[in-house]
A and B are shown apart, each in its own frame.
Chain A
Amino acid sequence: MPTIKSLDDLTRIREEVLKKQELITTSGKTEIIVGMGTVGRATGTQEILTAILSYIEEHNLGNVIVRQTGDMGLDSFEPVIQVILPGKERVTYGKLNPEIVKSILSNHVIGGKIIEEFKVER
């Protein structure tokens, strides 16, 4: 466990983390970020997460990383996920259900095509 004893230590750890994160993007991995705050959970992100994970398993998607984050304040759009294709902008999708998520995974994550219909502008 790294113990931080000085600002230099902090900077070093920060750089290590940034390098790790950069490695993720340069290695061509796609990030899917699921909003798992209270409102996210109340509107069913648990089901969304399950749908994403089982889709990844079914289609053997080795280059996808799924992470969690808190609520973003997009209450009327919940459940919300964000998709970041390698080297691309963050795309936020809202008002999801497991079916829509599957279509996002096949069209956007695999096919690279953003589904405008469920995109949330913020």
Chain B
Amino acid sequence: MKAVRSMVLVSSDAESIALGANEVFSAFQQKIQDYGLSDEISISFISDIGHNSAAPLVIIYPEAVIYGPVKPDDVLDIVEEHLDKGHIVERKLVPAHELSEHLAWLSSRKGTLPAENRIVLKNVGLIDPENIEDYIALDGYQALGTVLGKTPAETIGIIKDSGLRGRGGAGFPTGLKWSFVAKTHIDKKYVVCNADESEPGTFKDRLVLEGDPHAIIEAMAIAAYAVGADEGYVYIRGEYGLAIERMKVAIKQAREYGLLGKNIFSSKFSFDLHVHAGAGAYICGEETALIESIEGKRGEPRSRPPYPTTFGLWGKPTLVNNVETLANIPAIIRNGADWYRSIGTPSSPGTKVYTILGNVNVTGLIEVPMGITLREVITIYAKGMKGGTFKMAQTGGSSGSIIPANLQDTPMDFDSFKTASVSLGSGALLICNQEICVVDLAKVLLNFFRFESCGKCNPCRIGCQKSFEILSNIAEGIGTLQDLEDLQMMADQLYELSNCGLGQTAGSPLKDILTYFHAEVESHIRLKVCPADTCPMSGKTIYQVGQEVKITREQGA
């Protein structure tokens, strides 16, 4: 499928079909052809449309305009006015009160394109990261200077009011976390930036660290002032050599300018930063494992409680924030909490950085308001699917969810995704077409977890290995129906019994493929057929250069 300029979606729930959705669909096909627009406009059915009393609905992207109820006779007007001439047909729009949930939200955007809005990545790709002056010229360190004229409590108040939620994946309110650390009455506290960005498919933090390191330094200083810390660590994963180098340069420059060190801005506040390079362990993205690693130990997660906010680095209260979370801080201080709340959705204000990967025409990274839908991302920013149609997306690296096609119109914010029982994760969108086999994908994900499990707790160490073996068997064509039950059990037990987030989320690909792609998994077992024709049992020769190699078991994943 090549990139199209518009996309027409016709609702296809039972009610819409009863009210003539099929006829509307064929009318659109006909008229689009009549106007010679077939190459520019795609048309498809959409399920899971949400509650409405105006079926059948027609949604047109990229404007995200919702028409309804649409009769075949209305189609000519919509094609001529909207698709050909570009005017929205106001009289056919669905009245807002007839929509609820995410459809209502979609319609409330009033046909505006969810444009990129760069807060976190404001300076990335524009300034010279190794020159502090470039950062200062773009209002850098202004927020720190301002904050030092306020009380720590006022500062935390601004962050609380902004509604900023942690971007590491869990979505915990940032202001609340700060207040936990601020409340402790211990003279030594630490601020740690979690830059151990190891979720496969996620590289947003790398862009910030490489492209705008001073934003992190400024944010950490603000956080330190707010919680009462005087020392901080930036824990950057060892694989990010360039990011480590540039962060060190930036810290050196900030010290020279007096923006780190003693009595910053002639105040009583002193703060200094260290860079700690990781040594290659995914688990260190978990905050207690990260703390253990800074202390020079194996990166094994601690038992919680106590949480790091009261008992963290060397037993002292420690604030751990993710890079993307911190990168929002200076902008919030400069522009105020109300400004921040005006972006995104009410429960998840602000923007989210997504990395777009997989079978799409344009890969890369975007920063858009919270609440954009997957379909919008694929159509507008990724310029459509490459080779085939959308089958599923995997969000948030390995610990995200597998999102099937029928959820691609769910707004991507913390709460809507929670309601749909999927996870936003860390913001990677691995988009797959129908050539990707779900069993194969789950196998790759579990292979990752079985290597990255730290081995401390049994459910995770054994569960990941065992699940991988079962999936391999299914892929080989020697799976049994019992395997399906076992996989479900593994998924549940991983979630319930594991000590930390790694094990708890490792089962989610299993749960997701069994929920959304049960038929495809079952066909591997019952029919010994891989519908996507990738699994080893299909015996397909996949490698043609030089000598032909068949995938055999030894070559593994």
Given contacts A5-B265, A41-B242, contact A71 B133 (CB under 8 A): no
How distant is the Cα of A38 from the Cα of B129 in the complex, in angstroms? 13
Given contacts A71-B125, A74-B364, A75-B363, contact A4 B141 (CB under 8 A): yes
Number of B positions contacting A (CB below 8 A): 41
Task: Give the distance to chain B from A55, nearest Cβ to Cβ, in Å.
Answer: 21
Question: Residue on B with the closest CB to A69?
Answer: B125
Does B124 make an interface contact (CB < 8 A)?
yes
Task: Give the distance to chain A from B86, nearest Cβ to Cβ, in Å.
Answer: 18
Q: Which of B204-212, B302-310, B535-543 contacts A (4 or more CB under 8 A)?
A: B204-212
A71 engages B136 (CB within 8 Å): no
Question: Residue on B with the closest CB to A7?
Answer: B145
Given contacts A68-B130, A70-B211, A72-B124, contact A4 B363 (CB under 8 A): no
A70 engages B146 (CB within 8 Å): no
How distant is the Cα of A122 from the Cα of B126 in the complex, in angstroms? 13
Does B451 make an interface contact (CB < 8 A)?
no
- Write out the residue numbers on chain B whose beta carbons fall within 8 Å of the beta carbon of A2: 257
Does B365 make an interface contact (CB < 8 A)?
yes
B207 engages A37 (CB within 8 Å): yes
A76 engages B362 (CB within 8 Å): yes
- Write out the residue numbers on chain B whose beta carbons fall within 8 Å of the beta carbon of A75: 363-365
Does A60 make an interface contact (CB < 8 A)?
no
Of the candidates B128, B242, B366, which one forms a contact with A38 in the assembled complex, judged by CB atoms under 8 Å apart?
A: B242
- Write out the residue numbers on chain B whose beta carbons fall within 8 Å of the beta carbon of A69: 124-129, 211
Q: Which of A14-22, A46-54, A100-108, A111-119 contacts B (4 or more CB under 8 A)?
A: A14-22
Given contacts A70-B129, A76-B362, A77-B364, contact A5 B266 (CB under 8 A): yes
How distant is the Cα of A72 from the Cα of B126 in the complex, in angstroms? 8
Interface residues of B in 111-125 (CB under 8 A from A): 116, 121, 124-125
How distant is the Cα of A14 from the Cα of B203 in the complex, in angstroms? 30
Q: Which of under 10, 10 to 19, 20 to 34, or 35 or more describes the interface residues of A?
A: 20 to 34
Does B137 make an interface contact (CB < 8 A)?
yes
How distant is the Cα of A39 from the Cα of B203 in the complex, in angstroms? 10
- Write out the residue numbers on chain A whose beta carbons fall within 8 Å of the beta carbon of B266: 5-6
Most buried by B among A18, A73, A75: A73
Task: Give the distance to chain B from A7, nearest Cβ to Cβ, in Å.
Answer: 4
Task: Give the distance to chain A from B174, nearest Cβ to Cβ, in Å.
Answer: 23
- Write out the residue numbers on chain B whose beta carbons fall within 8 Å of the beta carbon of A73: 121, 124-125, 207, 355, 364-366
How distant is the Cα of A74 from the Cα of B211 in the complex, in angstroms? 13
How distant is the Cα of A39 from the Cα of B365 in the complex, in angstroms? 12
- Write out the residue numbers on chain A whose beta carbons fall within 8 Å of the beta carbon of B242: 37-38, 41
A76 engages B364 (CB within 8 Å): yes
Most buried by A among B136, B141, B243, B258: B136
- Write out the residue numbers on chain A whose beta carbons fall within 8 Å of the beta carbon of B210: 37-38, 70-71
Most buried by B among A21, A38, A67, A68: A38
Of the candidates A3, A41, A70, which one forms a contact with B125 in the assembled complex, judged by CB atoms under 8 Å apart?
A: A70
Does B392 make an interface contact (CB < 8 A)?
no
Overall SS of chain A's interface: mixed
Does B26 make an interface contact (CB < 8 A)?
no
Does B552 make an interface contact (CB < 8 A)?
no
Question: Residue on B with the closest CB to A41?
Answer: B242
How distant is the Cα of A15 from the Cα of B203 in the complex, in angstroms? 33
Does B448 make an interface contact (CB < 8 A)?
no
- Contacts between chains A and B (CB distance < 8 A), count: 101
A67 engages B146 (CB within 8 Å): no
How distant is the Cα of A96 from the Cα of B529 in the complex, in angstroms? 43
B142 engages A37 (CB within 8 Å): no
Does B256 make an interface contact (CB < 8 A)?
yes
B364 engages A68 (CB within 8 Å): no
- Write out the residue numbers on chain A whose beta carbons fall within 8 Å of the beta carbon of B366: 73
Task: Give the distance to chain B from A61, nearest Cβ to Cβ, in Å.
Answer: 20
How distant is the Cα of A122 from the Cα of B127 in the complex, in angstroms? 17
B212 engages A3 (CB within 8 Å): no
Task: Give the distance to chain B from A2, nearest Cβ to Cβ, in Å.
Answer: 7
How distant is the Cα of A35 from the Cα of B242 in the complex, in angstroms? 13
- Write out the residue numbers on chain B whose beta carbons fall within 8 Å of the beta carbon of A70: 124-125, 129, 207, 210-212
Does B259 make an interface contact (CB < 8 A)?
yes
Does B240 make an interface contact (CB < 8 A)?
yes
How distant is the Cα of A74 from the Cα of B136 in the complex, in angstroms? 25
What 1/0 mask marks residues of chain B from 519 to 550 whose CB sits below 8 Å from any chain A CB? 00000000000000000000000000000000
How distant is the Cα of A15 from the Cα of B364 in the complex, in angstroms? 34
B126 engages A10 (CB within 8 Å): no
Task: Give the distance to chain A from B270, nearest Cβ to Cβ, in Å.
Answer: 14
Given contacts A5-B266, A14-B137, contact A71 B124 (CB under 8 A): yes
How distant is the Cα of A69 from the Cα of B366 in the complex, in angstroms? 17
- Write out the residue numbers on chain A whose beta carbons fall within 8 Å of the beta carbon of B149: 7
Of the candidates A4, A20, A38, A76, which one forms a contact with B259 in the assembled complex, judged by CB atoms under 8 Å apart?
A: A4
Does A23 make an interface contact (CB < 8 A)?
no
- Write out the residue numbers on chain A whose beta carbons fall within 8 Å of the beta carbon of B145: 6-7, 10
Most buried by A among B121, B137, B203, B366: B137
Interface residues of B in 124-161 (CB under 8 A from A): 124-130, 133-134, 136-137, 139, 141-142, 145-146, 149
How distant is the Cα of A42 from the Cα of B149 in the complex, in angstroms? 44
Task: Give the distance to chain A from B344, nearest Cβ to Cβ, in Å.
Answer: 19
What 1/0 mask marks residues of chain B from 250 to 262 whose CB sits below 8 Å from any chain A CB? 0000001111000
How distant is the Cα of A4 from the Cα of B365 in the complex, in angstroms? 35
Does A110 make an interface contact (CB < 8 A)?
no
- Write out the residue numbers on chain A whose beta carbons fall within 8 Å of the beta carbon of B361: 76
Residues of chain B having any CB pair with chain A under 8 Å: 116, 121, 124-130, 133-134, 136-137, 139, 141-142, 145-146, 149, 203, 206-207, 210-212, 240, 242-243, 256-259, 265-266, 355, 361-366
- The 11 listed contacts between A and B (C-beta, < 8 Å) are A6-B145, A7-B145, A37-B211, A38-B206, A39-B203, A67-B128, A71-B125, A72-B207, A73-B355, A76-B361, A76-B362
- 6 closest Cβ contacts across the A-B interface? A70-B211, A72-B125, A73-B365, A3-B258, A75-B364, A7-B145
